[in-house]
Amino acid sequence: MKKLCMLTLVVITMGFVQVNAQALQPEDIKAQLLKDWQRAKAYTNDYLNTMPADKYGSRAVDSIRSFAEQMLHLSAGNISLISNGTGKPRIFPGFNMEKSAGAQSKDSVVYYVNASYDYALESIKSMDASSLGEIVTRGPYKETKFAWLLKAFEHQTHHRGQCTIYIRLQGIRPPNEQLL
């Protein structure tokens, strides 16, 4: 009886809820992507500013990337995957920033990370939103431009998240999550 009353209450309550769903237009999706990439850039900069400059070469364990290499890998992924999603030519073509000895300092890492986010933002801003459904093939992968843009966002989120442990190993609290 208790379950029946609860079910009845849920059904009655749902009758009072009005849903005003509208179809998303390509320009709406583009605007949301830009908003999220701006937020991600600010959040990543908080990580870059939280890690002390003399700890950019630190590793959680010997067999993995340093903090600087993680952030440079994030940058390279931003450039590569955004290029796939927007069709814009890559910046720094042929340059392996992650392995470049000259790119490992805090100033260099901050430069390359911000350049990759600026590239992402400008590439998305200037793209034709109606092309988000076009298929782009890279290697064995055939994905829509929109899927490539989602993969780019997931990639940078993943590697920024990995950097949380690097910061914690320094005895520092990492930046709080920024969903808005």
Name the residue ranges covered by the structural domains of the chain: 24-168
- pLDDT at position 1 is 57
| pLDDT digit string, tens, across residues 153-162 | 999 999 999 9
Question: If you search the block for the tokens 């933002």, which residue do you land on?
Answer: 121
Residues of the chain falling short of pLDDT 50: 5, 9, 13
pLDDT of residue 21: 77
Reported as half-sphere exposure (CB side, CA atoms, 13 A), residue 5 has a value of 2
The predicted pLDDT at position 86 comes to 98
Q: What is the pTM of this model?
A: 0.87
Report the CATH number of the 24-168 domain: 1.20.120.450
Q: CA end-to-end span of the chain, whole Å? A: 43
- Per-residue confidence (pLDDT) for residue 4, from 0 to 100: 52
**Which residues, 6+ apart, have CB-to-CB distance to 9 below 8 Å?**
none
The pLDDT of residue 178 is: 83
Residues 6+ apart with CB under 8 A from 36: 153
| Whole-number Å distance between alpha carbons of 148 and 100 | 26
**Can you list the positions of beta strands (E) in 107-160?**
135-138, 141-144
The span from the CA of 103 to the CA of 101, in Å, is 6
Q: In the block, which residue shows the tokens 């390279």?
A: 76
pLDDT at position 9, please? 47
Q: How far is CA 90 from the centre of its chain?
A: 17
Amino acid 156: pLDDT: 98
Per-residue confidence (pLDDT) for residue 111, from 0 to 100 = 98
